[in-house]
Amino acid sequence: ARKVDGFQLGLINISDSINGTPIGLFNFVKHGFNRLEISKSETFDLTLGIKFGAPSFYNIIEVNTVELKGERSIFNSRPHWALSYGIGTSMRHKKRLSFQLEAVASQINEGSIWTNSLNMLCQLRLISNLRLAKHFNLYGGPSINVFISNYYNKETQEFESNIFRDQAITDSVRLGIKPQRIETWVGYKFGIRF
């Protein structure tokens, strides 16, 4: 569509502009909420992300790297990285200040290109964004983190993550048939946005 007034629902939504909400797996709005981000959090050393859609509803795709003690992150034979997908909404408070509420899920890959077992970090973020120039923003805020995993760590011979060992404030629990680990903590995220 060229210009959408109202509600747009589909697997993939494409429009030139929208006065309303596009809801889909991927929302591309040419004159919408389109951002490129570089950030840091308590979990990930470096995150490159794109956000696209409309301010009322946008999609999030991120690639994250983690550097363990004594090991470089994604650029070695045992990479530790994550691929993330999420959704968000943005609310403008003042001309230069806005807030975003985001829900993001990340599949954590430990020591290999892809970890086949469930090794997922789920986050709820509340972000404050300060626009300093037309295409330059500073942002940051707290996150609530829930890590769910049935990843078996061959080094420690336990169901645990090398990455989240320090953040955890809860213990292992057993859910269903497979032993799983659930860990929760409060974190942060900050970065620059273009």
| End-to-end CA gap in the chain | 26
* pLDDT tens, position by position, 22-44: 888 888 898 888 999 999 999 89
Q: Which conformational region is residue 137 in: left (phi greater than 0), alpha (psi within -120 to 50 degrees), or beta?
A: beta
Predicted model pTM: 0.84
Pair type for strands 179-193 and 35-41: antiparallel
Q: What is the mean pLDDT of each run of 10 residues along the chain (194 residues)?
A: 81 86 87 93 93 93 81 57 95 89 94 84 96 94 92 73 57 53 90 96
Contact 163, 66 (CB under 8 A): yes
pLDDT of the residue at 111: 73
pLDDT of the residue at 4: 84
